[in-house]
Structure 1
Amino acid sequence: MIRPVALWMALRYLRTQRANQFASLVGVASVLGVALGVAALIVVLSVMNGFENELRSRLVSITGHAAVLTGRQGDGWRELRDDLRTWPGIVAAAPYVELEAMLANGGELAGVVIEGMDPAQNAAFADQRAAIFGEGLAELRPGTFNALLGRALAMRLGLATGERVRVMVPVRDADGRLVSRLREITVAGVFEIGVRDHDSVRVLLNLADAAQLAGLGDRVTGVRLEMADIFAAPEILRRWEAHWAAAGGAGFATTDWTRDNASYFRAVRIEKVMMTLLLSLIVAVAAFNIVATLVMIVTDKRPGIAILRTLGFSRRMIIATFALQGLLIGWVGVLAGILAGSLLAENIASVVPALENFFGFEFMPADVYYLTSLPVDLQVDDLFWVSVIALLMTAIATIYPALRAASVAPAEVLRYE
């Protein structure tokens, strides 16, 4: 098989590089550096993807994928709910009541957000909520005023399962004056989402009990939705709003998980970008090693380069020869890094416990991160972009040595040979 001359020469120079042991050592270090950087990027991004998925799952267990807000004027919420249930892409719709209140236990006070929901109507949400709330949802029976409290809130108020706590809800009387409605509720259980903004303020009640506390009667605050595709929630909601308005339905505000939790996911994206930039420095250092390797090869092969020039090699072919050497080093490092990073990411659930046992401490304490295992989500897009970044850096690293090789003057070099 006839190979391009530049590629053939690049491979030949790499094979004969072992004659210069120092250049060979630096070349191996370059490959290992690129592989290490690529593997580190893949593992870290996969773990951060897993954290993002876990955070999303926990947050939507409370907020749902989307919601249509009736603004406490929802006398016709059943018609609204039934219409939503028939809309393509929406797999579940359930009413809810949300109100602000104050809990008091002894001398401790805490502002809370009470959510009223009907476990029977939330059957479609059971999978995502069961992991967070467990069997406690079954205790939210109408008329019992049983409640589930966030763990941080329960600890702050010194409450345990089975204890009773006073709740104060601000309402307006017949004269429009703001008064407090008092009621005792029973702690039927505690839950832990892993997001302090929710764990320290969230209280779950039965839908009818929450509506009674808020003085809503048969009305609700809104209807929560679950979509077949969580990422399509904003688009599905926009299409439904257009349909509802065209049908002459009352105007309702809408929201979805991307708006409700925008700050959390923005923070995760910023962290991913910063970690990518920081870990890319490992690849950048390896790229500098490629520069050093190629410069030493150019210095060592000056007579050979001069002979090639006299045999008819153009400057462009010389540049291509040494650029291909650098790219081959980069490609080997990238492939090794992708393989190592992918294997490590896929098996991190067994690797991390082994490292914890070896070093004698927990990398991810469950009481801090609310996780029993490290979540991982290896995405093809990440593999692609990590490879592109690494190959781009190695390509840039070849420019100076290749130009230096092309600048060799044959007559001057061969004069002393």
Structure 2
Amino acid sequence: MFKPIPVAIGLRYLRAKRRNGFISFISFASILGIAIGVMVLITTLAVMSGFQREIRDRMLGMVSHATITAEGSAMEQWRDAMQLARDDAHVAGAAPFIDTQALLRSSRQEPAALRGVSPEDEDTVSEVGEKMVQGSLSDLQPGEFNIVLGRDLALWLGVQVGEQLVVTTDFQVTPLGAVPQLKRFTVSGIFEAGHQDFDRRLAVVNLQDLQRLTRMGDAVTGVRLKLHDMDRAFVVARDLARTLSLQQPGYYRVSDWTMENANMFRALKLEKTMIGILLSLIILMGAFSLLNSQVMLVTDKLADIAILRTLGLTPGGVMRVFMVQGTVLGVIGTIVGVICGLLLTYNLEHILRAIERTFDVVLMPSDVYYITGLPIDLQAADVLLIAGIALVMAFLATLYPAWRAARTAPAEALRYE
């Protein structure tokens, strides 16, 4: 098959035995460096993406995909808003809620986020009912003043199912002065969400009980929505806001989970980006090794370059000879790195278990980490990006040695031959 002369010569140099074995060693080291960098970067980003997905899924199991609230006040016309949301084909469920801060007191006291929910509607928007380890969400019947606590919150307060605690909410102004709103609740259940913000800071009561305690009448804080596709939350929330504004302009406000948790997800994305940049330095080291090997190869091949020039090969052709050779080395290193990275990523869980059995250690103890396994989320876009970065670095590393080879003067190179 026909090949351009520079390509044929460059590939020939790859197969030829080096007069200087050290150059071959440096070439092998450059391939190894690029491969290791690609492998480590693929595995690390897959693990970080897995942790981000796990955190997101656990968080969204307890919070809503979108929320409808009233602008600057409690929502009194929440039934209309909930019905309008349910009529949207993108909405899977809707439920009213009240959010307030409270002080819970038993043998100890602890501030917590107190949420009032409707048990029959709450299952359509959150997984708190599925996360119950004791009791049931349906035990939150109006007038019984039962309360469901996160596991860590119950442990800190020292209460169990069937025991009572005192809930203190906002102060109420009376003729005798400001008097705190106190009410004794019975612990009817405990949930474990696997997310510290909820297990340590969230308590759930019946919606009507919290309305009575806070003297809100029939009003609520807002309506929580669950969508069929949470990735479309922003678009659906925007469309709902437009529809609701036609019904009562300036009254409703719609937000989605990407807005309410923007700081956390922005921090996770920044962390992944920075670690990716730092680990890319491993690939850069392999590229520098490739540059070094190519410079040494050009020095070793000065006589060959001079002969090729006298036979009519142009400086551009000489440059392409060494660019082809260096690029092929970079491609080999990238391919090896991608294959090893995929194998390591998919077998990382087994490798960690083998390390734990061999050295009798627990790398992710359940009393420290909520996630005891190793979540993996290997994204094709990340793999392609890493491979592209490696190939670009390898290509750039070939430019200077190839340019130096192209500038070789045949007479000077053959003077001492």
Provide the TM-score with structure 1 as the length reference.
Answer: 0.92
Counterpart-to-counterpart distance in 2, 1:54 and 1:175: 52
Query: Equivalent residue for 1:63?
Result: 63
Q: Which moved more, 1:216-225 or 1:67-76?
A: 67-76
Q: In structure 2, do the counterparts of structure 1 residues 92 and 283 end up closer, same or farther at CA, with 3 Å as the change threshold?
A: same
Query: Equivalent residue for 1:81?
Result: 82
Where 1:369 maps in the other structure, the secondary structure is coil
Note the C-alpha offset of 1:94.
1.0
Counterpart-to-counterpart distance in 2, 1:129 and 1:340: 41
Amino acid at match of 1:25: F
Unaligned runs of 5+ in 1: none
Question: Which structure: greater helix fraction?
Answer: 1
1:245-324 correspondence to structure 2 within 5 Å: 245-248=245-248, 251-324=251-324
Query: Equivalent residue for 1:360?
Result: 360
Instruction: Check the 8 A contact 1:101/1:112 in 2, yes or no.
Output: yes
Amino acid at match of 1:328: V
Amino acid at match of 1:103: L
Q: In structure 2, do the counterparts of structure 1 residues 375 and 76 end up closer, same or farther at CA, with 3 Å as the change threshold?
A: same
Instruction: Check the 8 A contact 2:241/2:253 in 1, yes or no.
Output: no
Note the C-alpha offset of 1:387.
1.2
Could you list the per-position Cα deviations for residues 305-363 of structure 1 after superposition, in whole angstroms to 9, with x for gaps in the alignment? Answer: 11111111111111111112121111111111112212222233323212222333233
Instruction: Check the 8 A contact 1:72/1:220 in 2, yes or no.
Output: no
Where 1:219 maps in the other structure, the secondary structure is coil
Q: In structure 2, do the counterparts of structure 1 residues 248 and 220 end up closer, same or farther at CA, with 3 Å as the change threshold?
A: closer
Q: In structure 2, do the counterparts of structure 1 residues 345 and 178 end up closer, same or farther at CA, with 3 Å as the change threshold?
A: farther
Instruction: Check the 8 A contact 2:68/2:253 in 1, yes or no.
Output: yes
Amino acid at match of 1:24: S
Provide the TM-score with structure 2 as the length reference.
Answer: 0.92
1:416 aligns to 2:406 (yes or no): no
1:48-197 correspondence to structure 2 within 5 Å: 48-70=48-70, 73-106=74-107, 108-125=108-125, 128-129=127-128, 132-134=131-133, 136-172=136-172, 178-197=178-197
Amino acid at match of 1:314: T
Note the C-alpha offset of 1:76.
2.1
CA-based RMSD of the aligned residues comes to 2.2
Query: Equivalent residue for 2:236?
Result: 236
Q: In structure 2, do the counterparts of structure 1 residues 9 and 119 end up closer, same or farther at CA, with 3 Å as the change threshold?
A: farther
Where 1:347 maps in the other structure, the secondary structure is helix
Counterpart-to-counterpart distance in 2, 1:59 and 1:185: 26
Where 1:103 maps in the other structure, the secondary structure is strand
Amino acid at match of 1:179: V
Instruction: Check the 8 A contact 1:327/1:398 in 2, yes or no.
Output: yes
Note the C-alpha offset of 1:46.
0.9
Where 1:62 maps in the other structure, the secondary structure is coil
Counterpart-to-counterpart distance in 2, 1:327 and 1:129: 55
Q: In structure 2, do the counterparts of structure 1 residues 154 and 21 end up closer, same or farther at CA, with 3 Å as the change threshold?
A: same
Q: In structure 2, do the counterparts of structure 1 residues 134 and 286 end up closer, same or farther at CA, with 3 Å as the change threshold?
A: same
Where 1:367 maps in the other structure, the secondary structure is coil
Counterpart-to-counterpart distance in 2, 1:409 and 1:400: 16
Q: Which moved more, 1:260-269 or 1:155-164?
A: 155-164
Amino acid at match of 2:290: I
Amino acid at match of 1:104: R
Instruction: Check the 8 A contact 1:170/1:178 in 2, yes or no.
Output: no
Note the C-alpha offset of 1:19.
4.5
Note the C-alpha offset of 1:182.
1.5
Where 1:141 maps in the other structure, the secondary structure is coil
Q: In structure 2, do the counterparts of structure 1 residues 192 and 397 end up closer, same or farther at CA, with 3 Å as the change threshold?
A: farther
Query: Equivalent residue for 1:372?
Result: 372
Could you list the per-position Cα deviations for residues 271-313 of structure 1 after superposition, in whole angstroms to 9, with x for gaps in the alignment? Answer: 1011111111110111111012112211221111111111111
Counterpart-to-counterpart distance in 2, 1:303 and 1:357: 58
Unaligned runs of 5+ in 2: none
Counterpart-to-counterpart distance in 2, 1:323 and 1:191: 62
1:345 aligns to 2:345 (yes or no): yes
Q: In structure 2, do the counterparts of structure 1 residues 125 and 351 end up closer, same or farther at CA, with 3 Å as the change threshold?
A: farther
1:33 aligns to 2:33 (yes or no): yes
Q: In structure 2, do the counterparts of structure 1 residues 311 and 236 end up closer, same or farther at CA, with 3 Å as the change threshold?
A: same
Where 1:147 maps in the other structure, the secondary structure is strand
Instruction: Check the 8 A contact 2:98/2:220 in 1, yes or no.
Output: yes
Instruction: Check the 8 A contact 1:65/1:225 in 2, yes or no.
Output: yes
Note the C-alpha offset of 1:199.
3.2
**Paired-residue identity, %:** 39
Counterpart-to-counterpart distance in 1, 2:353 and 2:140: 38
Note the C-alpha offset of 1:193.
3.8
Amino acid at match of 1:333: G
Where 2:188 maps in the other structure, the secondary structure is strand
Amino acid at match of 2:410: P
Amino acid at match of 1:95: P
Q: How many residues align?
A: 415
Q: In structure 2, do the counterparts of structure 1 residues 390 and 171 end up closer, same or farther at CA, with 3 Å as the change threshold?
A: same
Note the C-alpha offset of 1:137.
2.8
Q: Which moved more, 1:42-51 or 1:70-79?
A: 70-79
Q: In structure 2, do the counterparts of structure 1 residues 21 and 390 end up closer, same or farther at CA, with 3 Å as the change threshold?
A: same
Instruction: Check the 8 A contact 2:128/2:193 in 1, yes or no.
Output: no
Instruction: Check the 8 A contact 2:240/2:254 in 1, yes or no.
Output: no
Query: Equivalent residue for 1:219?
Result: 219
Could you list the per-position Cα deviations for residues 115-141 of structure 1 after superposition, in whole angstroms to 9, with x for gaps in the alignment? Answer: 122232133335x44564456434433
Note the C-alpha offset of 1:178.
4.3
Note the C-alpha offset of 1:161.
3.5
Counterpart-to-counterpart distance in 2, 1:203 and 1:179: 22
